[in-house]
């Protein structure tokens, strides 16, 4: 396993631990991310991560942000996307969404089927893929 993969696993475990002990944060429920591609970019200090994401019925990500840009395409289901300081968005199958760097947000599945999505993260190398928001 590459060093960056080990670092991501450690960061993810730590992030889940922080969510579990932070009383004001709602924890992740029913979220699965499978990394399909992780590669350095020509932009120094950045990498791209392509992930297959599944959010179970009633699942939620927990409020968090990313160190870079997230572009997601919903394949199945309907995502309720809460963006801090903005109106809640509903992103349906066949639609895409972009979340700016450090934008606090949470995806929730209020629907009747699991959400399946492809997510592309363009993030700073060495930083956690997702950081819990306070």
pLDDT tens for residues 66-109? 999 999 999 999 999 999 999 999 999 999 999 999 999 999 99
Tally of domains in the chain: 1
> pLDDT, tens digit, for every residue of 5-49?
544 543 443 333 333 333 334 567 889 999 999 999 999 999 999
Q: What is the CATH number of the domain that holds 54?
A: 2.60.120.10
Give buried/exposed letters for 82-111 (b at 16+ CB in 10 A, else e).
Answer: beeeeeeeebebeeebebeeebbbbbbbeb
- The tens digit of pLDDT for each residue in 26-37 reads 567 889 999 999
Average of per-residue pLDDT across 106-122: 97
Range of the domain at 114: 3-132
Q: What is the pLDDT of residues 54-66, one digit of tens each?
A: 999 999 999 999 9
């Amino acid at each position: 396993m590459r060093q960056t993969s080990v670092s991501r696993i450690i960061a993810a475990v730590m992030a889940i631990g922080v969510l579990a002990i932070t009383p004001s944060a709602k924890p992740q429920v029913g979220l699965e991310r499978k990394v399909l591609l992780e590669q350095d970019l020509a932009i120094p200090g950045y990498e791209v991560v392509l992930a297959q994401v599944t959010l179970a019925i009633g699942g939620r990500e927990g409020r968090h942000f990313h160190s870079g840009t997230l572009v997601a395409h919903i394949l199945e289901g309907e995502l309720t996307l809460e963006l801090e300081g903005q109106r809640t968005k509903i992103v349906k199958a066949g639609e895409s969404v972009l979340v700016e760097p450090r934008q606090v947000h949470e995806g929730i599945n209020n629907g009747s089927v699991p959400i399946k999505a492809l997510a592309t993260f363009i993030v700073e190398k060495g930083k956690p893929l997702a950081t819990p928001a306070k």
